[in-house]
Amino acid sequence: MTMISPQPGIMDIKLYQGGASHVAGLENVVKLSSNENPLGPSDAAKEAFRRASHDLHRYPSSDHSRLRAAIGEVWGLDADRIICGAGSDEIITFLCQAYAGPGTEVVHTEHGFGMYKISALAASATPVEVPERERVTDVDAILAACTDKTRLVFIANPNNPTGTMISEGEVLRLAEGIPDAALLVLDGAYAEYVEGYDGGAALVDARQNVVMTRTFSKIYGLGGLRVGWGYGPQHVLDVLNRVRGPFNVSQAGLNAAEAAIRDTSYTDHCRRENARCRTWLADALAEIGVPSDVSCANFVLARFASEDEAMAVNAHLNTQGLLVRPVGSYKLPHCLRITVGDEASCRRVVTAVRIFKNGS
């Protein structure tokens, strides 16, 4: 027996399972399991990444000033209140490390992103799971679950894996209703897919208790580089910058992200293509008896009659080289989350599901 043991909560963490990327014996699989951009990053971002190869011996910028300035310009935000991280996962980690801890509670929703619970446990805090209403964030249920121990409330808007979204009015009601000691974290990983949506930035500016997280992993197609960011009130940035390591984002990542966010016409193109293919995919699935909620993101949560049917469809899709995401660990065992791929991939998915269901 060893006396060496980790902090409370850490051994309760269930290891994060990423989307599958291989099927044994098959080449050329289509990966629709991690909500990656099927079109990849912009050419400008790829070029910036290549140029960074000349300076790999140099430490990266520690203040991320160029990327923060670019984000500030493109989104009309105060660059001094932006923090960059190794993916938005790292911003979530900073928030839990800085604001949660033993004896405190971190609220997340029933079908919410798995990293909220993992980061809360890693900080020895107690995760509190709140039911959703028909796969939609339920503000009243969240407010009812808050206590004087609540320090963080996480919602993703649009949410993953449901794809649903709540209105600005509902988000405001949440921000106004949570306890004085709690911060509301708006995870905007899919915000860019919603035309005209600021991800909650205006609410951050208007209040002292709201933080927004964003990522370069989804619409910008840079998941492999690990770059994300957060935006919050000054008092929160003063805290987060103290726990952030000085060289937490690589220079190649910073440069590629800056080029990506400045290439707004490519982002617009990706948003339009996603919306077009998403509508086609959801409608075609509905026609063959597979419903889904209206998605505001780059995936569709397909609902099947039972867990057995969902698993059988998943197995059949695998044999066709199509990888989607079973979401049993998100309490949706009868569903499959399907990333909106390019048009050809969407057609292949629908054809495979149709053949499974109808035999033709």
Ligand X SMILES: *Cc1c(COP(=O)(O)O)cnc(C)c1O
Structure tokens that stand for 95 in this block? 């928030």
160 binding ligand X? (CB under 6 A): yes
Residue of the chain from 156, 239, 259, 353 that contacts ligand X (CB under 6 A): 156
How many residues line the site for ligand X (CB under 6 A)? 14
108 vs 262 by CB, closer to ligand X: 108
**Shortest Å distance, C-beta 310 to ligand X:** 20
For ligand X, the nearest residue by Cβ is 87
Site residues (CB under 6 A) for ligand X, limited to 88-147:
88-89, 113
Per CB under 6 A, the segment of 5-13, 73-81, 87-95, 339-347 that binds ligand X is: 87-95
Please, which of residues 162-221 interact with ligand X by CB under 6 A? 187, 189, 215, 217-218
Burial of 234 from C-beta contacts in 10 A (0-12 / 13-18 / 19+) = exposed
Nearest approach, Cβ of residue 91 and ligand X (Å):
8
| The only residue of 9, 19, 179, 223 in contact with ligand X, by rule CB under 6 A | 223
CB of 190 to ligand X, least distance (A): 7
| 53 touches 252 (CB < 8 A) | yes
How far, rounded to the nearest angstrom, does the alpha carbon of residue 86 sit from its chain's CA centroid?
A: 13
Asked if residues 339 and 36 have their Cβ atoms less than 8 Å apart, the reply is yes
Could you tell me the smallest distance in angstroms from the CB atom of residue 204 to ligand X?
17
Handedness of CA 337, 106, 198, 228 (dihedral sign): negative
Among 41, 70, 75, 87, binds ligand X (CB under 6 A): 87
Q: Pick the binder of ligand X from 127, 199, 221, 228 (CB under 6 A).
A: 228
Structure tokens at 112: 């919410």
Secondary structure of 194-215 in HEC code, one letter for each residue:
CCCCCCCHHHHHHCCCEEEEEE
CB of residue 214 to ligand X, shortest distance in Å: 8
Q: Taking CB under 6 A as the rule, does residue 60 contact ligand X?
A: no
Using N-to-C axis directions, what is the helix angle for 87-99 and 234-243, rounded to 10°? Answer: 100
Identify which of residues 87 and 232 has a Cβ nearer to ligand X in the complex: 87
Write the DSSP string, 224-279.
GG--EEEE--HHHHHHHHHHS-TT-S-HHHHHHHHHHHH-HHHHHHHHHHHHHHHH
CB of residue 280 to ligand X, shortest distance in Å: 22
* Residue 359 CB, nearest approach to ligand X (Å): 35
Q: How far is the CB of 229 from ligand X (least distance, A)?
A: 9
For ligand X, the closer CB: 214 or 262: 214
**H or E segment at 280?**
helix 264-287
- How far is Cα 314 from Cα 6, in angstroms, rounded to an integer? 37
**Which range of residues in 81-89, 232-240, 271-279, 341-349 is near ligand X by CB under 6 A?**
81-89
Query: For residue 336, what are the β-bridge partners?
Result: 302, 326
Nearer to ligand X, 105 or 187 (CB): 187
Burial annotation 115-139 (CB, 10 A radius, 16+ → b, else e): bbbbbbbbbbbbbbebebeebbbbb
- Show the binding pattern over residues 16-55: x = contacts ligand X (CB under 6 A), - = does not: -------------------x--------------------
∠ CA 109-111-114 to the nearest 5 degrees? 85
Q: How far is the CB of 221 from ligand X (least distance, A)?
A: 11
- Token pair 């991690």: residue: 34
Please say which residue, 145 or 158, places its beta carbon nearer to ligand X: 158
Residues that bind ligand X (CB under 6 A): 35, 87-89, 113, 156, 160, 187, 189, 215, 217-218, 223, 228
